[in-house]
Structure 1
Amino acid sequence: MECPWNRTTESLGNVVELQHVNLRVPDQLKATAFYISALGLTRDPYLVTGIDNMWANVGVSQFHLPTGPAQKLRGIVGLVVPDRAQLLHRLQNARRWLDGTQYGFEEAADHVDVTCPWGNRIRVHAPDAERFGRINLGMPYVAFDVAPGTLPGIVRFYRDIVQAPASLENDEARVLVANGQYLLFRETDAPQPEYDGHHIQLAFVDFGGVHARLAERGLISQEDSQHQYRFIDIVDPENGKLLFQVEHEIRSMTHPLFMRKLVNRNAAVTNLIYATGHESLAWAMPPE
């Protein structure tokens, strides 16, 4: 029987979760003004609720924002939020709390570019099922700026060592790391700051197999627990050349926090505009 569908497009590969991006922030009050009030995300109500760290929910993913010297991701975090007009209203209101910082935003035809108080770049899109899958709220990609000539080796690293679907498309390396979520790598001639320790967190099906391939090359940077390890260096498997650095916190599918259900609020509801039963937001689109 001839199959009418391309079955390979449904293969996730070895990576099944992009759970968080971790960036230190020096001021929790300003972080709350930016991530919660301006972007409209939701502070996790159950875990890490003190004043020294904040977990901000965005669909099935999070920002982790521990207190410390500011860290800057060398690239852009892509978000989808449900309503552009409401986003712009919140961003404008947040100026009163964030004046005097690097905070700002700029509208474009199909997105809004937002800069956090410490210079991190966030690109916010409206829901678009063709581009980002059936989500109203989420983190569809993290895009990194990398040196010229590194993309083929980066694709080989994620394809051969991590065993994630990876390819070169439209002058960028695309690595599928969960359903509808990607790591993107884009070459630039612009000088980049030194890596400052920020990290992303992924979950692997073949947790032990990737560990073995990384350890064989001396790439394991930290052994955290039975369910978690880390690596920083992305190298070309063909020659071991260092291509890029960003810490990857790697969890197993047996990690207690794997696929933990996250609370997402409806940022359009306030105490002045309130409707019972509409406080929460479904991050996925309804049935067609």
Structure 2
Amino acid sequence: MDGMTKVECPFNRTAESLGNSVELQHVNLRIPDPLLGTAFYISALGLTRDPYLVTGIENMWANVGVSQFHLPTGPAQRLRGITGLVTPDRELLLHQLQTARRWLGNTQYGFTEAADHVDVTCPWGNRIRVHAPDAARFGRITLGMPYVAFDVAPGTLPGIVRFYQQIVGAPAALLADEARVTVAPGQHLIFRETDAPQPAYDGHHIQLALVDFGGVHARLAARGLISQEDSQHQYRFIDIVDPEDGRLLFQVEHEIRSVTHPLFRRPLVNRNPAVSNQLYAPGHESYAPAMAPG
């Protein structure tokens, strides 16, 4: 318009575009023994059992920042890949992991240190990689689940990228030797090709929340990919296919919620595992899972 001054933008506005998926809320894995599950997820990793929901002995929700592990009791399930965590204190983590050997010694439990992470194996063989906070890699997260990385068959990455771009509406790209999908602020699904034989899919799942809940449902339903209709606010699919030819690429159940779901962005309690009855300071029991301002 005449007389208007063009304002130059000093920011990369596309860097803040999130896409359709706005929450990676939980990874669900069945565990055979809730006592060993408590020893691992709560004592060894230092996570927090949800104090409000699912507090009985048949399931356990373990809070990690804005995300959770859901751990119903049943035959063990194994995620084909690695769940990435960020925790605030490496030395405290190593102390907790070492202490937990007394309860977990006769299982598959173990851990190894690397320069920038600690690799941990749960009592039933699930792999977890724990990182220190790193603003360059994980944004402002100091406690959370920045990624879930899946091992997939060779030749599947381009089709996986197309699936999440075209069907789910999530930003996805091939980066070096992996496909990376943005599913929430600071959270990603990662797919890496491997020649190693993979076990059959055993029913474990992840949960995402979608803004265009109905549009994704329509695109999945048109391809016969809806596996379960849970409620007005939730449905599920398992198969990841190439939109170009329908070829099955990978299987993992996605529990899909709407942003109107009553549990969307429910505030989660996160304890400070450095505080105990032997080392206590009033007002320091809880932990904020993001970096302070500034």
Q: If the TM-score is normalised by the length of the shorter chain, which range does it land in? A: over 0.9
Correspondence for 1:2 among 8, 11, 19: 8
Equivalent residue pairs, number: 288
Correspondence for 1:192 among 176, 188, 198: 198
Q: Does the residue aligned with 1:135 lie in a helix, a strand or coil?
A: coil
Question: 1:272 corresponds to which residue?
Answer: 278
Whether 1:149 and 2:155 are equivalent positions in the alignment is yes
Whether 1:44 and 2:50 are equivalent positions in the alignment is yes
Shift of 1:3: 1.6
Aligned counterparts of 2:290 and 2:283: Cα–Cα separation in 1: 17
Q: Is the 8 A contact 2:59 2:70 kept in 1?
A: yes
The amino acid of 1:19's aligned partner reads Q
Taking only aligned residues, the RMSD between alpha carbons, in angstroms, comes to 0.4
Q: Does the residue aligned with 1:70 lie in a helix, a strand or coil?
A: coil
Aligned counterparts of 1:170 and 1:50: Cα–Cα separation in 2: 44
Whether 1:129 and 2:135 are equivalent positions in the alignment is yes
Question: 2:189 corresponds to which residue?
Answer: 183
Question: 2:69 corresponds to which residue?
Answer: 63
Aligned counterparts of 2:139 and 2:66: Cα–Cα separation in 1: 13
Whether 1:99 and 2:102 are equivalent positions in the alignment is no
Question: 2:144 corresponds to which residue?
Answer: 138
Q: Does the residue aligned with 2:125 lie in a helix, a strand or coil?
A: coil
The answer for unaligned runs of 5 or more in structure 1 is none
Alignment of 1:215-234 (within 5 A): 215-234=221-240
Shift of 1:2: 2.5
Correspondence for 1:246 among 249, 252, 263: 252
**What TM-score, normalized by structure 2, do the two folds share?**
0.98
Whether 1:84 and 2:90 are equivalent positions in the alignment is yes
The amino acid of 1:214's aligned partner reads L
Q: Does the residue aligned with 2:237 lie in a helix, a strand or coil?
A: strand
Q: Does the residue aligned with 1:168 lie in a helix, a strand or coil?
A: strand
Q: Is the 8 A contact 2:32 2:76 kept in 1?
A: yes
Whether 1:211 and 2:254 are equivalent positions in the alignment is no
Shift of 1:270: 0.6
Shift of 1:24: 0.1
Question: 2:242 corresponds to which residue?
Answer: 236
Q: Is the 8 A contact 2:29 2:78 kept in 1?
A: yes
The amino acid of 1:267's aligned partner reads P
Q: Is the 8 A contact 2:141 2:186 kept in 1?
A: no
Aligned counterparts of 1:9 and 1:245: Cα–Cα separation in 2: 30
Aligned counterparts of 1:8 and 1:136: Cα–Cα separation in 2: 24
Q: Does the residue aligned with 2:88 lie in a helix, a strand or coil?
A: coil
Aligned counterparts of 1:264 and 1:212: Cα–Cα separation in 2: 37
Q: Does the residue aligned with 1:222 lie in a helix, a strand or coil?
A: strand
Larger radius of gyration: 2
Alpha-carbon deviations, 1:13-34, whole Å to 9, x = none?
A: 0000000000000000000000
Q: Is the 8 A contact 2:54 2:61 kept in 1?
A: yes
Shift of 1:240: 0.2
Alpha-carbon deviations, 1:168-220, whole Å to 9, x = none?
A: 00210000000000000000000000000000000000000000000000000
Q: Does the residue aligned with 2:63 lie in a helix, a strand or coil?
A: strand
Q: Is the 8 A contact 2:63 2:268 kept in 1?
A: yes
Aligned counterparts of 2:248 and 2:12: Cα–Cα separation in 1: 35
**What TM-score, normalized by structure 1, do the two folds share?**
1.00
Alpha-carbon deviations, 1:132-177, whole Å to 9, x = none?
A: 0101100000000000000000000000000000000021000000
Question: 2:23 corresponds to which residue?
Answer: 17
Aligned counterparts of 2:230 and 2:8: Cα–Cα separation in 1: 48
Alignment of 1:104-115 (within 5 A): 104-115=110-121
Aligned counterparts of 2:270 and 2:129: Cα–Cα separation in 1: 19
